[in-house]
Amino acid sequence: MAERDRVSQLRAYGRSMWPFIPPGSTLEVVPLGDRRPRVGEVVVGVRGGQVVAHRVVRVEGEGAEQLVVTRGDAHSTDDPPWRPEELLGVARRATVLGLSVALDDPAVQALGRLVATQPAAVSALRCILAPAARAGRVAAMAAAFTATKTGLLRLEVAPLTTLHERDLDRLLLLLGIDAAGPLGAQGSSLAQELVRGMSLGARLAGFLAAAIVPARLLGRRAEARPQLVVHPLARGSVEKPLVAAWAARGLEPPEPVRPVAPWQERLYRWVGVPLATR
């Protein structure tokens, strides 16, 4: 296989490319080869030990002095410039919310150039989308809560097994949590942790909506309490039966993977979710 045809898969963790590449998306990355990146393309490099996938906004200089300037679509400032040889490759395809998008399609490339060269327009788009996204999340949470309380959606609570590895990985990615890195450093993996049988999940309409997992799975201290992770759109509708099933095992109460906001504390008190606090 030619070097230019070598394909790598990269998972998007953060929100720096929102809304065009949300967390949990998968990028198909190929080497740049002899060519230089073009404005609008999404390139991949490693900086400070972190893999970065950002859009090219301009290319400066010529020859050996050439520099590539990138920026996350959700950011208002440019990244420090890259030398072309520092870049690992360019994304040619993205799988976003289950939809495969060819980034080398002419129409998608044109959109990429527009995003790269019109930051004010992109910022305005984010300002427009943000309230709509918040309203949509509130509506989805309300719908999930109503559906579970009325029995329209059946909630299933059961131990997680290796069959649920991909679902759990997606849920963690959605929350910006990388379990693979910490577990790899410990000489373990997500599948190996699930084999231990110390994780519990709640599924709505076949999708993993929440889970209680050991702290070590998320790279926390071994003595830390079990961690509760919840899909943002399922908050308030899945935690009570999940935590109750966990308590029925005689296990210590879990704590939220991150401190909850005041509104969520009030929601948990209202629905009667018993959680440990930090």
Cα–Cα distance measured from residue 11 to residue 120, given in angstroms and rounded to the nearest whole number: 27
Domain boundaries, the chain: 3-117, 128-271
Owner of token pair 């990985």: 169
Structure tokens at 232: 């943002």
Cα–Cα distance measured from residue 143 to residue 122, given in angstroms and rounded to the nearest whole number: 30
Task: Report whether the peptide linkage leading into residue 232 is cis, meaning its omega lies within 30 degrees of zero.
Answer: no
Mean pLDDT per 10-residue run, the chain (278 residues)?
64 78 85 87 84 91 86 88 89 84 90 86 70 70 79 87 85 76 74 83 88 84 83 86 90 86 84 73
The answer regarding whether domain 3-117 maps to CATH 3.90.340.10 reads: no
Long-range contact list for 92-99, CB < 8 A, 24+ apart? 92/28, 92/29, 92/30, 93/27, 93/28, 94/21, 94/25, 94/26, 94/27, 94/28, 94/42, 95/25, 95/26, 95/28, 96/20, 96/21, 96/22, 96/25, 97/22, 97/25
Owner of token pair 């910490």: 182
Structure tokens at 270: 């209202």
Please tell me the predicted confidence (pLDDT) of residue 130. 66
Please tell me the predicted confidence (pLDDT) of residue 1. 38
The answer to whether 178 and 185 are in contact (CB under 8 A) is: no
Query: Cβ atoms within 10 A of the Cβ of 40, count?
Result: 19
Please tell me the predicted confidence (pLDDT) of residue 212. 93
The conformational region for residue 23 under phi > 0 = left, psi -120 to 50 = alpha, else beta, is beta
Query: Cβ atoms within 10 A of the Cβ of 175, count?
Result: 15
Please tell me the predicted confidence (pLDDT) of residue 200. 92
Structure tokens at 38: 């073009």
The answer to whether 145 and 236 are in contact (CB under 8 A) is: yes
Residue (of 116, 119, 122, 123) closest to 56 by Cα position: 116
- CATH code of the region 128-271: 3.40.630
Segments of the chain assigned E as strands: 8-11, 26-30, 42-47, 50-60, 67-71, 87-96, 99-102, 155-159, 200-204, 207-213, 227-230, 255-256
Cα–Cα distance measured from residue 119 to residue 83, given in angstroms and rounded to the nearest whole number: 23
Owner of token pair 């073009």: 38
Please tell me the predicted confidence (pLDDT) of residue 54. 94
The answer to whether 82 and 25 are in contact (CB under 8 A) is: no
Cα–Cα distance measured from residue 186 to residue 77, given in angstroms and rounded to the nearest whole number: 36
The answer to whether 64 and 83 are in contact (CB under 8 A) is: no
- Whole-model pTM: value is 0.60
